Each structure stands twice: as C-alpha cells, then as structure tokens.
Chain A
C-alpha cells in the first residue's frame, strides 16, 4: 500500500514537474487547441484554391485588373426566394473574368457566356451539387447527407427547362428530349404534370386497333410484335420482347376483337394494269416522300417521318384496304394526318400497285399461325391489358389504363436511395434514368417497360428533359418562369374548314399557331397572294423554291372546292395591319421600275438569293421571283421588304432597313415581273 502511494506522485512529477511547470504545459496545450480553428481555416481547400488563383493571375498581363477584382474569403451567392446558397465562387474565382477564357479548366476559367449573369440564379440551379459546401468533395460528389452531385455537362440544358417551359432556340437538346417524350408516347403511360396544371400530351395517338383486321393480317401483327424495327427501321413502336406464344395469342385477340368499318375496303378496281414507272412517278408527283420514308438500296431511309415507313408496306396492307385508304383515308381514320388526295380510280390502282410491290419475302416467313382457340384469345386479351397496349392504341372493349406507369412529374429530384442500380453502374440519378431508357428490362425481372431503339443522343436528350422535371422546377416562383405558349386549337369553320380538314392542310402548313412548319405559314395568305394565282396554284401547284424536295402535292380539287377555299383564304387570312389593295398591281412609272432594278441588282444584290431573270440570276435560297408580280400583292411586297420578320417571324430574309422610297421602287420593279416566259419554263 505504501509503495503504491508515491508512484503516481513520481509519475505526475516526472511528467509535469512542479505545479508551476504543469500550469505552463497546460497553457501551451490550450493555446495549441485554440490554434486548431485558425489553422483549419488557414489550410482549408478554398484558401488553397484562392492562393492558386493569385499565383496564376500574377503571371498574366492583366494581373492588376484581376487583382483588383479579387475578393479574399468565402464568397456566397444567396437567393432566398430560390433556396440558393452557393459558395462555389469561393474556389471558382475567375467565373466573371472576361480575360480568363484561355485557362484550360476550372476552377479558374471564365464561365461560358450564357443569357443570365452567374449571380442571377446562382450555380446549383443548373449544375446541381451542394452549393453551401466549402470543400471540393462535398460540393461536387454525393455524400451521405447529399444525394445530388454535380450534373454532367451533357445534361446541363435540364437547368434551362426548370423555368423555360416552352422551347428555346438555343436549347436543342432539351427541346428534342421533350419532343421525344411526346412523340414516342412516353407520356401515354407515365403522367408528367406541368406546373400550370396541365399534363404533357402525346403528339399523336398510335393507330386504333379496333378495326385492324380490315387493314392487315394476323401474320403481319405477329411479325410486327416480334420485332417492329424489322418491319420499319424507324418504327416508334417499341419491342415488348414477348414470347412467341404470347404474340400468337395477342394477334389472335386483336383479329377477333376487330370490327369492320363500312367502306374501308374496296373491291379491285377494274383498270388496265398499271405500269411500275407510273407508280413511282405518281408517288413522286404526289410528294408522298414528304411524310413517308422508304429505305433505299444502301439501307438509308429517304423521306419524311410524319407517316409510317413504307419499305415493306406490301407485307402489311391488305390490297382491298389499301385501295380504300389511298382513295379516302378519312373513312378508316377520321383524324389521320394523311390528306384525301381525290385520286381517280386509275391513280388509286397505280399507287396501290406501286405500294403492294414494296414487300420483303422474309418478313412473314416465320409466322405460321394455326386457328386460335378461345383460351388463346382470352389469354391474348389479358396480355393486352397487362402490357397496357390501350395506353397508346384505341382497342374496342378495353379502357385506356390510368396511371399505368410511375408518374415522372418530379423524376429529376428522385431520391437516389430509393433506386435500385445495376451492378457496375454509377450511383447517380442521370445514369439511372439513362440506363432505364437504354435497357428498361435489365433492372428487374417482370418489368413491362418495352425496349426502345434510341440513339445515345436521343437518350441524352430524354434524360435532360426528365431531369428538368424536378422539385425546383415545380416550386419556382411563377414570376421567374417563362411559360410555354398555349397550344392553339384553331379550326377553320364552314365548308372551307371541312375541305381543309379533308386535305389535312395542318399536316404541313401552320395557321394561327396551329399546324406543322413543313410548309409556309398561311396566317396572312389572303394579304399576301393574288386570288388568280391562288386558284391556279390549287389546280396545279408549281414550285416556288426549286431547291426544296418537299412541295405542295396536287390534289384533284373540283372548281367548287377551289372557289370555296380561295374565297375563305382571301377573306379570312388577312393581316389587319395593312390594306392589301393599297398598292396597285401594275402601272408603275418606268423610272421607278428602273430605280428598283438598280436597287435589286446593285445596291442590295438580291440576286444572291432570288432569281428574276432565269438566264442571268442563279440565287437559290429565296423563292423564284420571275412571276412574282402575278403572284403577290404590291402591298405585301412593300411591307415584306420593310420588315420581313414582322410578317413571318423567323424568316431568313434579312431586314434591310429600306427607306419608304426604296421599298416602293423595289416593289415597282418586282410587280413588273409578270412571268411572260413562265409557260415555256414549265415545259
């Protein structure tokens, strides 16, 4: 007992000696402890980067300016209304320095030029990451407490989509992604609610299957379901990867379920055998290729993507259906985008022969189907319901399922901890979304989402559009958002409206905000053209732009139809800002015309894009003007010359800022171009 008592004393003494010495040591320790905080601050990462920046700018010519702009310490962009507290600029010091564009990489390079100032919305709005963090790791990566790492640059346009709900000219990827969501029917199964209360709508419904037996055979349905892209390379229909027995049963059900439509089939037309060249030329003259593509010998698709690909249409369409369809597609499908061409019987037979010859002997080679049993048909029906076919296709007796697939309104904020990743896949949300689009069935067994054939660029675009669907986008103050222009539901009325619907004018033209941009906007057509020209054009549409491969097809319109349409267009589609008769059609003075000619050829060199004299001029971009004086009204030419964009927003012709006199002289010159040699040229 006694020996143990002095031991601690000696240990204590050994360590600290006298109490006064102990006090000294403890004081030093305390000081050291106190020094930890400033030392930690001193050795912090952001200070390291700021020192690096100072070292960098010292080597540059504009060092003094840069030094003056530099502010030491932690920097912060604080936007309480957006929930943004970004300290990124503590390390990314050179973001605003115009001269630092040549620095090869961040953190010192200047931010690329964008339409917003970097401190207007902060950084994480577009780039994600943890804005308030002050270490590299925490700011950029996902940590236990933070799930949204820095967004890879390839998806950066998703940031724009949070506020800009419509298309922006400078965000092609976001626009493409949104268009794909609508076009490929993603939004038919997945609801995407928009902040304005609506939901994202599909561009068009897939074809109705309620009358499919009129149109095609069970064998074709089998081959199609087995591999849609084998029939049409660019088919929008995805591959559901079904077993052969399942396809057999689905095809059986669809055929049995189909009901005929009176008039959607026609008996063979008793005409002389159409020769194959006539078919090809009628197909060309009717500009079928503006909407339909066909694979050429090299395997490339040539033609538009509005209608289905026709490379193997002979395998699909029943002749009696195709005949009726070509004659008047609106009997089978009242809402089709295909125009009613008003072909003669001979023409119908010619097109039919041409199209039926487009077939591939291998396509249906493996489809040998025995008559279906009632069990198979019932099984087919249950599969159709299980896979949600009615989400896209109208199928008689089956309701469109609601909320068939998970809602994607806020998919861009989905918590990563709720996701199941594939082995080897980076654990980030963009990788998950892209992976899910690339191989939806790989994530678990029994998943229903079908296999699409998207390219890498398309998957990136879709992922970008989906990442824009996030919490921030839903909750951003409305004053900061740019809403999409409201969709136009414009429909022309009366008899003319019926004819326009029948001709499917809106499949190519746009009027009052509705329609496609394939052909010119016709909103002010009544102010633009002369009535006689319009009537002639309806009867025999020539081309105004020789360089274009898409042109107005010739519809066999009756005189009455032409009159009704011309009346309507000339009366209704007028620009209220000017009187179309305010400039005469002829009677301009020779000197005025001559001055106009000088302006046209010398001062403004309009011949670089337009042709007035077919022998001398070669300009190929704008419409040919050889007979513009019998096509357009003088007032339209005058106002167009003064400001083309005010009449047709986005038109390529530059505004030349002409004086009133110059515009009048040019109008005089152009109105004299009545196209005397037009008839020879046509032949």
Chain B
C-alpha cells in the first residue's frame, strides 16, 4: 500500500516536471515561430478603452481593457507583444498576446476579491528591449458599495451623471443648478459623511443648497443611504481619505 502510494507520489511529482520540460521546449519553439514572421515593436503603449471601470470585487469587468501599441510616429503597430500584470488576485484573460491589425490588444480583467482600487499595468517592449508601460485603474466594489451602485443607477445617476445613452437620457443639462457627478472628489471629499447623509435624507435645503435635490430619507432606508455614501466615497477622484484615520504603518 505504502509502496504504491510512494510510486503514485513520485509519478505526481514527475508529471509536472515532464510537463514543465515539455512546455519549456514548446514555448521556445512557439516564441521562435511567432518572432520569425512578426518581430514588431512599438515605442509607446496607450489605453484605448476599458479604464476606470467599476465592477464587483472578484468578478470580470463588463468591458474588456483595450490598449494600443504605437510607434514613434504615433502609428499603430501590429504584432507587438503586450502583457498585463496586476496586484494579487487580479487575473487577465488572456494575460498576454500580440496586437491585432489595428495595433490593439484586448483582455478581460477579473478583479481581486477585496474592494478597492486596482492598478493594472500593460507593458510592451521597444526595439531596444526597453519596457514601456501604461497604468490603468479599475475599481472593485464590495457588497455594500455595489448596493450603493445599484441605488445610484436607479435614483441618482439620471441627474448626477451628465452622460446620456440612447436607453437613458441624462437630466443633467435640464437643471438650473448643476448637480455634482459622484466622481468629483474635489467637491465631494470636503463633505463629511454626516453632511452627505443629511443632504440625501433631507434634500438640498438641508445644507442651504438647491431644492432641486429632493430628499430621499422617506424613500430609502438608512442602510441604503449609507451604502450610497460608501459607493460615492469609493468612486471619487481623487480618492477619498476618511478623516481621523491614523496611519502609523511603516
């Protein structure tokens, strides 16, 4: 029994080793094959789309992240190698590959399980084997902030988000006093949680602001308003720093 077990273990160990050897040779062959027809290099990498997305922690973002490799003349480069990396927990599908005929490479990003801001990095090598990179930020929401996002979508965004889609026309332009987008950290970060709670619960007049902002204190529960505030704090740009947090780390 033990003998068999040992044999089994040895085989288990040997298998990945064999696989490693196999894949290493395979890789070598592959990269040579890929390098032979298209040794393309750019000199810069730029983001085409997919940055600043907001998704649930641990899930795939709804839009792929697309980057483009350009040469010195800002022309798109086809066939350049691009690879993505990110903090622990972030995964890419696929993590690397070569740019298509329009010089772009696209990947589906799955965020890590912790809520927060994730900085992912796309990189490519120049002809001189120097690495050029671009940093792209994505936001992962936990349960509470996602509830906030759902509430924002239902109650707030039609006035607070100036962008219109065919499915939903923004009311922003119709308002005499312009509401603040939730990403406007410059303004919103100055308001305390209590102020936000007051303005959402009792409307604009609670802080001597416009009555165009109605009160939601009789419509939403306190938990829901807290979720909204947590969400607003998460998406603000520049990021919100909670007051009174004493950082003595490092």
A618 and B114 CA atoms in complex are apart in Å by: 42
Rounded to whole Å, the gap between the CB of B86 and the closest CB of chain A is 14
Instruction: Fill in one digit per residue for B78-95: 1 if any A CB lies within 8 Å of its CB, else 0.
Output: 000000000010000100
Given A59-B248, A549-B167, check contact A153 B147 (CB 8 Å).
Answer: no
- Are A547 and B169 in contact, with the CB atoms below 8 A? yes
Rounded to whole Å, the gap between the CB of A6 and the closest CB of chain B is 40
Rounded to whole Å, the gap between the CB of A656 and the closest CB of chain B is 7
Closest-by-CB residue of B relative to A152 is B58
Instruction: Fill in one digit per residue for B211-250: 1 if any A CB lies within 8 Å of its CB, else 0.
Output: 1111111110001001100100000000000100111110
- Are A113 and B114 in contact, with the CB atoms below 8 A? no
- Chain A contacts for B37, CB-based, 8 A: none
Which of B44-52, B67-75, B119-127, B154-162 lies at the interface with chain A?
A: B154-162
- Chain A contacts for B66, CB-based, 8 A: none
A61 and B171 CA atoms in complex are apart in Å by: 45
- Are A618 and B174 in contact, with the CB atoms below 8 A? yes
Closest-by-CB residue of A relative to B59 is A154
- Chain A contacts for B216, CB-based, 8 A: 654
- Chain B contacts for A604, CB-based, 8 A: 211, 214
- Are A621 and B58 in contact, with the CB atoms below 8 A? no
- Are B60 and A154 in contact, with the CB atoms below 8 A? yes
Q: Quick one: which of A156, A457, A603, A621 contacts B171, CB cutoff 8 A?
A: A621
- Are A172 and B59 in contact, with the CB atoms below 8 A? no
Q: Quick one: which of B142, B166, B211 contacts A549, CB cutoff 8 A?
A: B166
Asked if A170 is at the interface (CB within 8 A of a chain B CB), the reply is yes
- Chain A contacts for B131, CB-based, 8 A: none
Given A102-B245, A173-B56, check contact A113 B218 (CB 8 Å).
Answer: no
- Are B60 and A460 in contact, with the CB atoms below 8 A? yes
- Chain A contacts for B171, CB-based, 8 A: 608-609, 619-621
Closest-by-CB residue of B relative to A618 is B174
Given A608-B175, A619-B171, A620-B171, check contact A460 B214 (CB 8 Å).
Answer: no
Closest-by-CB residue of A relative to B217 is A657
Asked if B210 is at the interface (CB within 8 A of a chain A CB), the reply is yes
Asked if A44 is at the interface (CB within 8 A of a chain B CB), the reply is no
Rounded to whole Å, the gap between the CB of A180 and the closest CB of chain B is 15
- Are A652 and B155 in contact, with the CB atoms below 8 A? yes
- Are B59 and A457 in contact, with the CB atoms below 8 A? yes
- Chain A contacts for B60, CB-based, 8 A: 154, 456-457, 460
Rounded to whole Å, the gap between the CB of B41 and the closest CB of chain A is 30
Restricting to A192-212, which residues have a CB under 8 Å from any CB of B?
A: none
Asked if A60 is at the interface (CB within 8 A of a chain B CB), the reply is yes
A104 and B114 CA atoms in complex are apart in Å by: 8
Given A152-B113, A618-B174, check contact A173 B59 (CB 8 Å).
Answer: yes
- Chain B contacts for A656, CB-based, 8 A: 214-215, 218
Asked if B185 is at the interface (CB within 8 A of a chain A CB), the reply is no
- Chain B contacts for A170, CB-based, 8 A: 143, 146-147, 150
- Chain A contacts for B150, CB-based, 8 A: 169-170, 172
Count chain B CB atoms within 10 A of each CB in A62, A604, A619, A620 and give the residue with the most: A620
Closest-by-CB residue of B relative to A302 is B166
Restricting to A595-626, which residues have a CB under 8 Å from any CB of B?
A: 602-605, 608-609, 618-621
- Are B211 and A112 in contact, with the CB atoms below 8 A? no
Q: Quick one: which of A112, A608, A609 contacts B142, CB cutoff 8 A?
A: A112
- Are B246 and A61 in contact, with the CB atoms below 8 A? yes
Asked if B115 is at the interface (CB within 8 A of a chain A CB), the reply is yes
Rounded to whole Å, the gap between the CB of B191 and the closest CB of chain A is 19
Closest-by-CB residue of A relative to B212 is A608
- Are A605 and B210 in contact, with the CB atoms below 8 A? yes
- Are B154 and A654 in contact, with the CB atoms below 8 A? no
Rounded to whole Å, the gap between the CB of A345 and the closest CB of chain B is 33
| Total residues of chain A contacting the partner, CB 8 A | 44
Q: Quick one: which of B115, B169, B218 contacts A112, CB cutoff 8 A?
A: B115
- Are A60 and B246 in contact, with the CB atoms below 8 A? yes
Closest-by-CB residue of B relative to A172 is B150
A618 and B175 CA atoms in complex are apart in Å by: 7
Closest-by-CB residue of A relative to B116 is A104
Instruction: Fill in one digit per residue for A146-168: 1 if any B CB lies within 8 Å of its CB, else 0.
Output: 00000011111000000000000
- Are B246 and A153 in contact, with the CB atoms below 8 A? no
Asked if A105 is at the interface (CB within 8 A of a chain B CB), the reply is yes
Asked if B62 is at the interface (CB within 8 A of a chain A CB), the reply is yes
Asked if B57 is at the interface (CB within 8 A of a chain A CB), the reply is yes
Asked if B183 is at the interface (CB within 8 A of a chain A CB), the reply is no
- Chain B contacts for A10, CB-based, 8 A: none
A484 and B155 CA atoms in complex are apart in Å by: 25
Asked if A109 is at the interface (CB within 8 A of a chain B CB), the reply is yes
A652 and B214 CA atoms in complex are apart in Å by: 11
- Chain B contacts for A62, CB-based, 8 A: 246
- Chain B contacts for A60, CB-based, 8 A: 246, 248
Asked if A259 is at the interface (CB within 8 A of a chain B CB), the reply is no
Asked if B103 is at the interface (CB within 8 A of a chain A CB), the reply is no
- Chain B contacts for A620, CB-based, 8 A: 158, 169, 171, 174
- Are A114 and B143 in contact, with the CB atoms below 8 A? yes
- Chain B contacts for A169, CB-based, 8 A: 147, 150
- Chain A contacts for B210, CB-based, 8 A: 605
Asked if A645 is at the interface (CB within 8 A of a chain B CB), the reply is yes
Asked if A582 is at the interface (CB within 8 A of a chain B CB), the reply is no
A414 and B114 CA atoms in complex are apart in Å by: 28
Asked if A655 is at the interface (CB within 8 A of a chain B CB), the reply is yes
- Are B144 and A154 in contact, with the CB atoms below 8 A? no
Rounded to whole Å, the gap between the CB of A64 and the closest CB of chain B is 12
Asked if B206 is at the interface (CB within 8 A of a chain A CB), the reply is no
- Chain B contacts for A102, CB-based, 8 A: 242, 245, 247
Closest-by-CB residue of B relative to A99 is B245
Rounded to whole Å, the gap between the CB of B108 and the closest CB of chain A is 5
Rounded to whole Å, the gap between the CB of B81 and the closest CB of chain A is 22
- Are B113 and A153 in contact, with the CB atoms below 8 A? yes
Rounded to whole Å, the gap between the CB of A543 and the closest CB of chain B is 13
- Chain B contacts for A105, CB-based, 8 A: 88, 114
- Chain B contacts for A655, CB-based, 8 A: 218-219
- Chain B contacts for A173, CB-based, 8 A: 56, 59
- Chain B contacts for A114, CB-based, 8 A: 143-144
A153 and B88 CA atoms in complex are apart in Å by: 13
A105 and B150 CA atoms in complex are apart in Å by: 25
- Chain B contacts for A109, CB-based, 8 A: 114
- Chain A contacts for B88, CB-based, 8 A: 105
- Chain B contacts for A621, CB-based, 8 A: 158-159, 171
Instruction: Fill in one digit per residue for B156-182: 1 if any A CB lies within 8 Å of its CB, else 0.
Output: 001100000011110101110000000
Count chain B CB atoms within 10 A of each CB in A60, A61, A602, A654 and give the residue with the most: A654
Rounded to whole Å, the gap between the CB of B169 and the closest CB of chain A is 4
Asked if B43 is at the interface (CB within 8 A of a chain A CB), the reply is no
Given A154-B110, A652-B154, A656-B214, check contact A645 B144 (CB 8 Å).
Answer: no
A520 and B213 CA atoms in complex are apart in Å by: 25
Q: Enumerate the 9 nearest inter-chain pairs by beta-carbon distance, A residue then B residue, closest first.
A: A153-B58, A153-B113, A61-B246, A618-B174, A112-B142, A113-B144, A655-B218, A605-B211, A154-B58
Please give the residue numbers on chain A whose beta carbons come within 8 Å of chain B beta carbons, in ascending order.
Answer: 59-62, 99, 102, 104-106, 109, 112-115, 152-156, 169-170, 172-173, 456-457, 460, 547, 549, 602-605, 608-609, 618-621, 645, 652, 654-657
Please give the residue numbers on chain B whose beta carbons come within 8 Å of chain A beta carbons, in ascending order.
Answer: 56-60, 62, 88, 93, 108, 110, 112-116, 142-144, 146-147, 150, 154-155, 158-159, 166-169, 171, 173-175, 210-219, 223, 226-227, 230, 242, 245-249
Given contacts A460-B60, A604-B211, A608-B212, 16 further A-B contacts (CB under 8 A): A61-B246, A61-B248, A99-B245, A112-B142, A113-B144, A156-B113, A170-B147, A170-B150, A173-B59, A456-B60, A457-B59, A549-B166, A655-B219, A656-B214, A656-B215, A657-B215
Cβ contacts A to B, 25 pairs, < 8 Å: A61-B245, A102-B245, A102-B247, A105-B88, A105-B114, A112-B142, A113-B143, A113-B144, A113-B227, A114-B143, A154-B56, A154-B110, A156-B113, A170-B147, A172-B146, A172-B150, A605-B210, A605-B214, A608-B174, A608-B175, A608-B212, A608-B213, A618-B175, A654-B216, A654-B218
